């Protein structure tokens, strides 16, 4: 029991009245030296602030740390009450213990370190991991494909069963986020893969020829797994799969078949865009080689444009006739009509634009 007569009661030095001592406020962090330990209290020398006291609930919360202290040890404490009924400064060691405990978390996060955590629990949302006596959570959304519960239909009970099989296993993770106010730590396996992918992507450049396998078909194209670096998933847009119009990529891409692709772009998010048709000869350009300036061809007026009309020569070969041949677009429409077959003379061929320029034979 603590009484007013305790030898550890706060005492002011004889010279206290002549020294300007900073005011002590709650939540202030100060240095302290261990004076004495009892089974229920810890007494501290706070220098000119007098005697500090940790007791009651604060003592019990910090018991493990207090047991490791000995007389004369210097520690940091947080002020709870600048002066209690015994004339002492009530302080807390728990917050400082937690700050020290979480220091490695901050350092690991700042250094983006890979950590090894032991799975000690599971729920439908993810796994509970323990690292250095500190617990954190690994959500399923941050799990690698290796550990992610692949359950058909998303049955919650089966997901939990799959996650519980990982208990007592060790998993490599990085710290995704940390909230020091409540000690909440979120781990991520994906962050390891994402960081590795960014480093690997830096080895590639636009124009490179790469090999890869079909990973998954999406509505807008296909995801390609690169042969040399399977972690890297490139994207093949639907329009880059073939020179011919195609609606179903299953017609072109087959599982377990190795294909060559050309990298067409790498965006700021380190996403690689590839093309299959860029490595194939454009059939239209091959067909254009069959035509020569001065050659007379038959074509069907396919579509009017603001400055002329498109003429279909073959199903995938179009020519262009300028409205100036007729004195303007309105006059052109009076002399020729849509779907009308006529004879035209080729004036020039632009293979880069895949266009044949025409004039009407009158």
Model pLDDT for residues 317-344, shown as the tens digit of each residue: 889 999 998 999 999 999 999 999 999 9
Whether 2 has a pLDDT exceeding 70, the answer reads no
Q: How far apart are CA 101 and CA 108, in angstroms?
A: 12
Let me know if residue 59 belongs to a domain. yes
CA terminus-to-terminus distance, the chain: 119
Q: Under a CB-based contact definition with an 8 Å cutoff, are residues 226 and 263 in contact?
A: no
Domain count, the chain: 4
Q: How far apart are CA 111 and CA 97, in angstroms?
A: 22
CATH of the domain at 340: 2.40.50.140
Name the percent of the chain lying above pLDDT 70.
91
Choice between 282 and 170, residue whose per-residue pLDDT is larger: 170
Does one domain contain both 227 and 256? yes
Predicted pLDDT at 7:
42
- Boundary residue ending a domain (164, 191, 218): 191
Let me know if residue 185 belongs to a domain. yes
Predicted pLDDT at 214:
95
Let me know if residue 38 belongs to a domain. yes
Does one domain contain both 177 and 217? no
pLDDT 10s digits, 124-136: 899 999 998 789 9
CA angle 347, 348, 352 (to 5 degrees): 160
The contacts of residue 85 (CB under 8 Å, 6+ apart) are none
Domain that holds residue 72: 20-92
- Range name among 10-24, 45-59, 182-196, 273-287 with the lowest pLDDT average: 10-24
pLDDT band at 294 (very low <50, low <70, confident <90, very high): very high
- Boundary residue ending a domain (135, 157, 191): 191
Q: How far apart are CA 7 and CA 237, in angstroms?
A: 81
pLDDT 10s digits, 250-282: 988 998 999 999 999 998 888 999 999 999 888
Predicted pLDDT at 210:
96
Q: How far apart are CA 176 and CA 194, in angstroms?
A: 12
């Amino acid at each position: 029991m603590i009484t007013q007569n305790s030898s550890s009661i706060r005492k002011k030095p004889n010279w206290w009245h002549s020294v300007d001592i900073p005011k002590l406020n709650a939540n202030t962090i100060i240095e302290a030296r261990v004076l004495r330990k009892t089974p229920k209290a810890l007494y501290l020398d706070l220098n000119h602030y007098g005697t500090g006291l940790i007791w009651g609930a604060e003592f019990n919360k910090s018991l493990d740390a207090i047991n490791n202290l000995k007389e004369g040890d210097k520690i940091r404490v947080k002020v709870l009450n600048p002066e209690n009924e015994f004339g002492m400064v009530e302080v807390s060691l728990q917050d400082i213990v937690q700050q020290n405990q979480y220091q490695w978390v901050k350092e690991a996060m700042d250094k983006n370190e890979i950590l090894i955590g032991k799975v000690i629990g599971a729920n439908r949302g993810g796994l509970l991991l323990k690292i250095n006596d500190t617990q954190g959570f690994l959500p399923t959304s941050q799990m690698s494909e290796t550990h992610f519960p692949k359950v058909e239909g998303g049955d919650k009970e089966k997901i939990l069963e799959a996650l519980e099989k990982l208990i007592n296993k060790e998993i490599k993770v990085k710290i995704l986020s940390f909230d020091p106010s409540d000690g909440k730590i979120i781990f991520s396996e994906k962050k390891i893969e994402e960081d590795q992918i960014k480093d690997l992507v830096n080895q590639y450049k636009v124009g490179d020829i790469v090999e890869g396998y079909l990973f998954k078909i999406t509505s807008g194209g296909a995801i390609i797994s690169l042969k040399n670096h399977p972690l890297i998933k490139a994207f093949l847009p639907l329009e880059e799969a073939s020179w011919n119009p195609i609606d179903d990529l299953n017609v072109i891409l087959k599982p377990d078949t190795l294909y060559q692709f050309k990298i067409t772009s790498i965006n700021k998010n380190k996403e690689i865009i590839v093309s299959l048709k860029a490595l194939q000869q454009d059939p239209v350009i091959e067909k254009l080689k069959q035509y020569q300036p001065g050659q007379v061809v038959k074509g069907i007026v396919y579509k009017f444009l603001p400055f002329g009309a498109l003429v279909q020569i073959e199903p995938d070969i179009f020519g262009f006739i300028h409205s100036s041949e007729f004195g303007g677009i309105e006059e052109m429409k009076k002399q020729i009509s849509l779907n009308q077959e006529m004879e035209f003379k080729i004036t020039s061929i632009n293979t880069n634009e895949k266009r044949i320029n025409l004039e009407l034979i009158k």
